[in-house]
């Protein structure tokens, strides 16, 4: 496998006509080692964030042995890629056939649920199995997170007592799980959720074997500089230690974004400029779904072929992007700061797209082609390499001389 030094080397060597995904396996491996070594429990990779088989193998080699799968397709993918991995089916609402197939054909023993109906579905689909790990999902607040996950899944405290008691009767191991929302910007989010878990356990008076604090661990983006992950781990550990759980209970988490955000960036080409709007060859129906639909800002830098101009000397101004499809919704407001003289034919690297970027790319309007390269430089932002700084204005352009 040929590894390029960085994005500008890829542009120099290939001048890509299609969007080019850049993989950084070393960054994903570093993130995985960080969680394996520093989180005070077991880390399950949330596959939905980026289901790339190459990434799954990188995480496995770095010590991640458990995988949070949300569909039978993800079950099959991870089992085929990592035959010895432990799979946890953590979607709280599953088709009966998916449960049965996961249990009987693929060895899945861990299931999440948030209702008595789902508990009965699991009981029937597994033929009343006695080797199940059942994790009851509580509804908790997403007030400290950039993207809420508080409305769709999770049982309220008023319903938790009966669900925990009934699940305890079927489960070999009983867990309590929750999700504080994506990109949690304060460790206090987990303290509040764990206190809700405490109330549910006390009210139900059941023995709990697993506390799963879910995902939500943040990455670094423009305008979103979270505290160090060690702060999250310390508060989670301190709060967990005081919970009324089994003496042999385990602490779990389900990082997705935090393990894969730094794995990918993308090179796009500017096809047209209209004042402060740039028409680029990827967008809302490609790797930039979040930039379009939830207003996510990603770090950007200009990649320019050397010419007689002093590349990058122009003052940075804010741009918006249009993607390549014919849809007006294919629009990313940004702002994305780039040199004021950016023009058609320039390339732009957009960073931190490993989480939900390449994973959500579609073929709408025929714009599905993408090229993939491996690079060895650092991601444009990192929770793990000690940089923990925003890009300065002078850092957002690279000359390809």
> What confidence tens digit (pLDDT) does each residue in 10-53 have?
999 999 999 999 999 999 999 999 999 999 999 999 999 999 99
Peptide bond into 177 cis (omega under 30): no
Share of the chain above pLDDT 90, in %: 82
Q: Are residues 250 and 317 in the same domain?
A: no
Q: Are residues 204 and 284 in the same domain?
A: no
Domain count along the chain: 2
pLDDT at residue 8, as a whole number: 95
Q: Are residues 15 and 92 in the same domain?
A: no
Q: Are residues 200 and 280 in the same domain?
A: no
Q: Are residues 194 and 289 in the same domain?
A: no
Q: For 169-191, write each residue's pLDDT tens digit.
A: 999 999 999 999 899 999 999 99
Last residue of a domain, one of 200, 225, 260: 260
pLDDT at residue 145, as a whole number: 81
* Mean pLDDT calculated for residue range 155-166: 96
pLDDT at residue 143, as a whole number: 84
**CATH value at residue 147:** 3.20.20.10
pLDDT at residue 362, as a whole number: 87
Q: Are residues 266 and 254 in the same domain?
A: no
* pTM for this prediction: 0.92
Structure tokens at 221: 């983006």
Last residue of a domain, one of 240, 260, 280: 260
Cα distances (Å, whole numbers) of residue 378 to 30, 259, 365, 374, 382:
11, 15, 33, 12, 8
* Mean pLDDT calculated for residue range 153-169: 95
* Mean pLDDT calculated for residue range 334-353: 96
Q: Mean pLDDT over all residues of the chain?
A: 91
Share of the chain above pLDDT 70, in %: 94
**CATH value at residue 304:** 2.40.37.10
- Residue 76 near residue 56, CB atoms below 8 Å: no
Cα distances (Å, whole numbers) of residue 323 to 17, 265, 301, 337, 349:
14, 16, 17, 17, 15
Most confident of 129-138, 149-158, 292-301: 129-138
Other CB atoms within 10 Å distance of the CB of residue 277: 15
Describe the crossing of helices 229-240 and 188-204 by its angle, rounded to 10 degrees: 20
pLDDT at residue 113, as a whole number: 98
Q: Are residues 247 and 277 in the same domain?
A: no
Q: Are residues 276 and 244 in the same domain?
A: no
Residue 1 has pLDDT above 50, yes or no: yes
Q: Are residues 54 and 169 in the same domain?
A: yes
Structure tokens at 74: 């993800």
Last residue of a domain, one of 236, 260, 284: 260
Most confident of 66-75, 238-247, 363-372, 390-399: 66-75
* Mean pLDDT calculated for residue range 206-215: 96
pLDDT at residue 18, as a whole number: 94
Residue 385 has pLDDT above 90, yes or no: no
pLDDT at residue 308, as a whole number: 40
- Domain, as residue range, for 69: 26-260
Q: Are residues 173 and 306 in the same domain?
A: no
Structure tokens at 400: 């390809």
Q: Are residues 245 and 316 in the same domain?
A: no
At 312, the pLDDT band (50, 70, 90 cuts) reads: low
């Amino acid at each position: 496998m040929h590894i390029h030094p960085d994005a500008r080397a890829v542009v120099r060597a290939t001048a890509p006509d299609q969007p080019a995904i850049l993989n950084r396996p070393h960054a994903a491996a570093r993130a995985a080692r960080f969680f394996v070594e520093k989180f005070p429990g077991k880390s399950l990779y949330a596959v939905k964030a980026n289901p790339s088989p190459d990434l799954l193998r990188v995480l496995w080699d770095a010590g991640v042995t458990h995988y949070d799968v949300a569909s039978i397709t993800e079950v099959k993918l991870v089992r085929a890629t990592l035959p010895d991995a432990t799979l946890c089916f953590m979607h709280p609402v599953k088709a009966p056939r998916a449960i049965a197939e996961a249990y009987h054909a693929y060895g899945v023993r861990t299931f999440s649920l948030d209702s008595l109906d789902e508990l009965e579905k699991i009981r029937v689909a597994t033929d009343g199995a006695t080797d199940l790990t059942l994790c009851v999902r509580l509804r908790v607040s997403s007030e400290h997170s950039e993207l809420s996950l508080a409305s769709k899944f999770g049982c309220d405290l008023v319903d938790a007592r009966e669900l925990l008691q009934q699940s305890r009767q079927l489960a070999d191991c009983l867990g309590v799980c929750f999700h504080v929302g994506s990109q949690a910007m304060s460790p206090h989010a987990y303290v509040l959720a764990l206190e809700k878990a405490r109330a549910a356990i006390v009210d139900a008076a059941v023995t709990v074997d697993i506390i799963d604090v879910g995902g939500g661990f943040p990455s670094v983006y423009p305008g979103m500089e979270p505290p160090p992950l060690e702060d999250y781990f310390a508060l989670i550990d301190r709060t967990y230690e005081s919970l009324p759980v089994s003496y042999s209970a385990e602490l779990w988490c389900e990082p997705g974004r935090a393990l894969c955000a730094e794995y990918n960036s993308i090179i796009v080409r500017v096809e047209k400029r209209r004042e402060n709007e740039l028409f680029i060859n990827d967008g809302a129906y490609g790797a930039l779904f979040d930039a379009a639909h939830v207003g996510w800002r990603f770090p950007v830098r200009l990649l320019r072929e050397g010419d007689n101009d002093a590349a990058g000397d122009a003052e940075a101004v804010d741009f918006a992007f249009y993607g390549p499809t014919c849809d007006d919704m294919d629009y990313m407001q940004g702002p994305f700061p780039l040199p004021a003289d950016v023009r058609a034919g320039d390339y732009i690297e957009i960073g931190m797209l490993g989480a939900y970027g390449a994973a959500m790319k579609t073929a709408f309007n025929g714009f599905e082609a993408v090229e993939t390269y491996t690079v060895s430089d650092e991601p444009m932002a990192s929770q793990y390499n000690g940089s923990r700084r925003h890009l300065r204005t002078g850092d957002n352009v690279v000359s390809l001389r």
